[in-house]
Amino acid sequence: MKLLRTKAELNAWLTARGDARRVLVPTMGALHRGHTSLFDQARGEAGKGGDVIATIFVNPVQFGPNEDFDAYPRPLEADLEKCADHGVDAVFAPDLSEVYAPDRSITVTEDRLSGNLCGASRPGHFDGVCTVVAKLFNLIRPDAAIFGEKDFQQLAVIRRLVRDLDFPVRIVAGPTVREEDGLALSSRNTYLTAAQRAEAPALVRSLRDIAAGIASGAIKTPCDARKAFLDRFAAASLARLDYFEIVDATTLAPLETFTGQIPRLLAAAFFGKTRLIDNVGLPRD
């Protein structure tokens, strides 16, 4: 596995690899089983002669002023071991100065999918995501890129980025990886106290219960679903709900009816200072 720290090293490696199929997995490091599942998926997408390229870069422009940029874990050596163990061919892990010029003045802005859900409480976050992903697409020129479904709004925004800016990249969704009790894997889970960790699976349990009620017909409207979710999640006494929404899975527009729609249920909640997100679709038969 090759570690690439500069754009010049990256370009030289890509040039040497020629026309090999490229599959990109962008990350901010602090890798866990959720990330390594994406590497495994990318290995299958790349095929025998293709390349899996992971990026490890904690992107400052997607952090808000009161968020945990400085505290975000950066265990590079451990991350590189995980990449090597899961078939990654090259890791691009640049310094900040390699990605952003000190006088940078261009930002990629998304103004339709990012105004609600996580975007409502994190203004500018998805502009930061779009900006760095656009740069990575330009630098690496992948055939496909894999993004996890746990960050469902991000996945939708990236799909829109590719569509609207005509990037020749196929976006592949990676299923959410969970602990045995259902909690979605996240680097932020390590910030939870023991009591908070014990309550945290209430987020996905509540989402799954409401999704099952919608699928069975027991819950007939989005308004009823919201009331049922609030009642169900109230049992998590250590949590403070940020949002619960039922949206169209493609446009992220809030639903007023379930007729003819593909609903996605999304929620975010604070356990102390730790903000967790999760989402589910309707169960399949």
**Known catalytic residues?**
35
Residue among 54, 74, 57 at smallest CA distance from 2: 54
Rounded to whole angstroms, what are the CA distances from 197 to 148, 181, 202, 280? 22, 10, 10, 20
Residue among 77, 81, 97 at smallest CA distance from 39: 81
Amino acid identity of residue 247, one-letter, is V
Amino acid identity of residue 161, one-letter, is L
Residue 53 burial (C-beta neighbours within 10 Å; 0-12, 13-18, 19+): buried
Which two structure tokens, joined as six digits, stand for 142? 């992948």
Q: How far apart are CA 211 and CA 157, in angstroms?
A: 23
Indicate the SS3 state at residue 108: coil
Q: Enumerate the H helices of the chain as residue ranges.
A: 7-17, 33-46, 76-85, 96-99, 118-121, 125-140, 152-165, 194-199, 202-216, 222-233
For residue 274, what is the DSSP state? E
Residue among 219, 266, 218 at smallest CA distance from 116: 266
Q: How far apart are CA 266 and CA 152, in angstroms?
A: 8
